């Protein structure tokens, strides 16, 4: 179990870094919409989740936990919603 926890923390840290990178890119390009940002973020998160799940963790609760982490990270991304016409 300890190995799993380390792997989970590593996965979450990696995804957090990717979210921060995307947030930085979003702030640098005001023409990018929040919709584009989230689409890009969830594509990255889906790929990372598939890699993580290749270890055949067959626990439905684990998948819910990982999806929860993805949504938590998405909600923490600092977006400027003002002026977004979409």
Sequence ranges of the domains in the chain: 2-74
Please state the pTM of the whole predicted model.
0.58
Q: Identify the pLDDT of residue 15.
A: 84
Residue-by-residue pLDDT tens, the chain, 86 positions: 567 778 778 888 888 888 888 888 888 887 878 788 888 888 888 888 787 777 665 566 677 777 888 887 777 766 655 555 55
Q: Identify the pLDDT of residue 30.
A: 77
Q: Identify the pLDDT of residue 61.
A: 66
* 3-state secondary structure string across 18-78: HHHHHHHHHHHCCCCCHHHHHHHHHHHHHHHHHHHHCCCCCCHHHHHHHHHHHHHHHHHCC
Token look-up 């790929």 returns 47
């Amino acid at each position: 179990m300890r190995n799993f926890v380390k792997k989970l923390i590593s996965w979450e840290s990696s995804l957090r870094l990717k979210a921060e990178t995307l947030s930085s890119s979003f702030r640098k390009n005001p023409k990018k919409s929040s919709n584009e940002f989230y689409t890009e973020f969830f594509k990255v998160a889906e790929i990372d989740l598939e890699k993580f799940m290749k270890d055949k963790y067959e626990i439905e609760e684990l998948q819910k936990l990982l999806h929860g982490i993805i949504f938590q990270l998405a909600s923490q991304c600092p977006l400027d919603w003002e002026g977004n016409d979409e």
